[in-house]
Amino acid sequence: MFLKADILGIESGGKPIVFLNKSDADEIGIRASGRITITFKKKPVTSIVNTTTSVKRGIIGVNEEVRQTLGIKQNSLVDVDIAPFPKSLQYIHNKLTGRRLGFDEISEIVRDVVQGNLNENEISAFVTALSMQGLDLDEATGLALSMVDTGKQLNLRKKMIVDKHSIGGVPGDKTTLLVVPIIASLGLTIPKVSSRAITSAGGTADRAEALMPVDLKISEMERVVRRSNGCIIWGGSLELAPADDIFVRSEYSLYIDPLLLPSIMSKKKAVNTKHLVIDIPTGRGAKMQTVGESDFLAKELIEVGRRLGIHTQCVLTNGDKPIGYAIGPSLEAREALSVLMNRAVVPDLTDKVCHIAGSILEMAGRRNGYQLAREALRSGRAEAKMREIIGLQGGNTKIRIDDFAIGQEREKIMAGKTGHVLWMDNVALIELARAAGAPKDKGAGIFFNKKVGDKVRSGDVIYTVFSEKARKLSRALEIVKDSAPIGIGEYHEMFIHKVKEPSPVKRSFVMER
């Protein structure tokens, strides 16, 4: 039927959206969340339908995405009909009943996701089905390839592109800020694409942004990498795997992560990585709790890598406590710069960095990788490379340790008793840093004076909470009061807790992409 377009002036992040009067929708034979095809001058677009009583009969309210795609104006007459039933929905349904998906079926699903032909219910069902049924290696590979095919790719025409990735989950993990300049300073090419926090206190892109701009176009990224061999760029606007950005919305909402494997590997494929090291933090409070689990994930990552032509190794690292002394974008960037400048000694961070950088170097044929990485740090070559990258990305090459704006609202947290730091609770510490304002407020976060194993006397400062706003600091301090983010005691203490009734609900799910 023909309807008059009403331009609503709403943008919806790339997705076509329309509003129809309920009667018109009935007449077309469609319900809310159904699909229609809107045609104007022989150009069609498929859109998900919303029904409402506030749009008059004979009118179709359209968002900016529909207006632009069709090139219509206020009151343009468009032809509206039921869209053909998408095959991809049949495939999703099949997965939901336990069938495995073939490569063509996966391609079709991913294409329809990117083109907006599937509604949120349908995408959410697909993600749920993947989470419940699991995906085999063929499916994971197919998803990774389809995500690459529907996105942009980086083409540097360099032979030896290397990369690192962490499956994340551990607060304070600024490893990438050191690995990239080390590797680039040693002549390998590492075009690092990073993520922002979704549920964490900071992703690598959030940390790097305290040092330099990270929101670059793909052409600018190419320029930086051609000149310096490295970069640290936020992946969000590069569109390397736009399907993943859509899937992640459902995953986040449901705190499930079935697409972890294709999500990682698609983005590495899209930048043409040849050698890849993946960090799998393992331990209580990390995404992977046991070595067995992590080894199994590693095996799958390596196998999918093989199928995609990416030489992959995994490094299991200790994930049961934060890395270094700082959590929060600016505090972490400051700590990373201090280590690059040899102005601070952060043994756990340096050890992790050198293991990962060393593994990359050895995959690329160098010997004694750990020592090479350590020497690049000690000699200042890594620092010089980092300042070069900062400059090319548009930051201040002369940035000093005192230049970071750290939140002025501060509270020191003292030990209530004497003993040792026995444990640090990653999840509670992330919650605390987020309440203080991280990662949105770059200067918010936590700085530790003591870490696991350190001797503590009652009254000693264990850590300081930083915030940019008084309101957020007091919200954070309530969390300190309600939970115990850090445990102090003696090593002979055995009691964990007693269960008298079902435990209260506790969401713990860390996500960055």
Residue among 413, 406, 434, 435 at smallest CA distance from 486: 413
In the complex, the smallest distance separating the C-beta of residue 326 from a copy of itself, rounded to whole angstroms, is 20
Pick from 66, 89, 109, 190 the residue near a copy of itself by CB under 8 A. 89
Q: Which one of the spans 84-92, 175-183, 212-220, 421-429 is the region binding a copy of itself (CB under 8 A)?
A: 84-92
Q: Which is nearer to a copy of itself, 87 or 417 (CB)?
A: 87
Q: Before 439, cis peptide (omega within 30)?
A: yes
CA distance 457 to 72: 71
Tokens encoding 491: 């090593």
Strand partners, 45: 38
CB of 40 vs a copy of itself, minimal distance in Å: 19
Closest CA relative to residue 298, chosen from 166, 204, 188, 143? 166
The H or E element containing residue 232 is strand 230-234
Stretch binding a copy of itself (CB under 8 A), from 25-33, 175-183, 328-336, 367-375:
25-33
CB of 98 to a copy of itself, least distance (A): 8
The reply on whether position 289 binds a copy of itself by CB under 8 A is no
> Which residues touch 220 (CB under 8 Å, ≥6 apart)?
none
Structure letter (DSSP) for residue 325: S
Residues 384-413 that bind a copy of itself (CB under 8 A): none
Please tell me whether residue 117 binds a copy of itself under the rule CB under 8 A.
Answer: no
Beta carbon nearer to a copy of itself, 46 or 124: 124
Residue 478 lies near a copy of itself (rule: CB under 8 A): no
CB atoms closer than 10 angstroms to residue 229: 26
Binding flag, residue 15, a copy of itself (CB under 8 A): no
The residues with which 46 forms a beta bridge, in sequence order, are: 37
* Contact in structure between 304 and 265 (CB atoms under 8 Å): yes
Output 93 or 366, the one with its CB closest to a copy of itself: 93
CB of 319 to a copy of itself, least distance (A): 21
**Set 257, 279, 425, 441: catalytic member:** 257
CB of 256 to a copy of itself, least distance (A): 7
Residue 252 binding a copy of itself, by CB under 8 A: yes
Count how many Cα atoms sit within 13 Å of the Cα of residue 303 in the half-sphere of its side chain: 13
257 catalytically annotated = yes
Question: Quick check: 2 binds a copy of itself (CB under 8 A)?
Answer: no
By rule CB under 8 A, what string of x and - marks binding of each residue 318-357 to a copy of itself?
----------------------------------------
- 501 binds a copy of itself, rule: CB under 8 A: no
Q: What's the closest the beta carbon of residue 121 comes to a copy of itself, in angstroms? A: 4
> Smallest distance from the beta carbon of 85 to a copy of itself, in angstroms?
5
Considering only residues 437 through 456, tell me which ones interact with a copy of itself, judged by CB under 8 A.
Answer: 440
Phi, psi of 289 (to 5 degrees): -95, -30
DSSP state of 112: H
Among 62, 107, 117, 122, binds a copy of itself (CB under 8 A): 122
Sheet holding 409-414, edge to edge: 326-327, 445-448, 461-467, 409-414
**In 3-state terms, what secondary structure has residue 61?**
strand
**Element (H or E) spanning 353, and its range?**
helix 347-363
Of 69, 133, 318, 338, which lies in the binding site for a copy of itself, with binding defined by CB under 8 A? 133
CA angle centred on 369, ends 365 and 375, rounded to 5°: 130
Q: How far is the CB of 297 from a copy of itself (least distance, A)?
A: 17
Query: Is position 458 an interface residue for a copy of itself (rule: CB under 8 A)?
Result: no
Distance (Å, rounded) from C-alpha 302 to C-alpha 511? 22
Tell whether residue 434 is a contact of a copy of itself (CB under 8 A). Answer: yes
Q: Where are the beta strands (DSSP E) in 284-339?
A: 311-318, 326-327
Distance of CA 197 to the CA centre of its chain: 6
Strand 311-318 to 275-282 pairing: parallel
Catalytically active residues, by annotation? 257
The binding site for a copy of itself (CB under 8 A) comprises 9-13, 19, 26-27, 29, 31-34, 50-54, 64, 85, 87, 89-90, 92-93, 96, 98, 119-125, 127-129, 131-133, 198, 249-250, 252-256, 434, 440, 505, 507
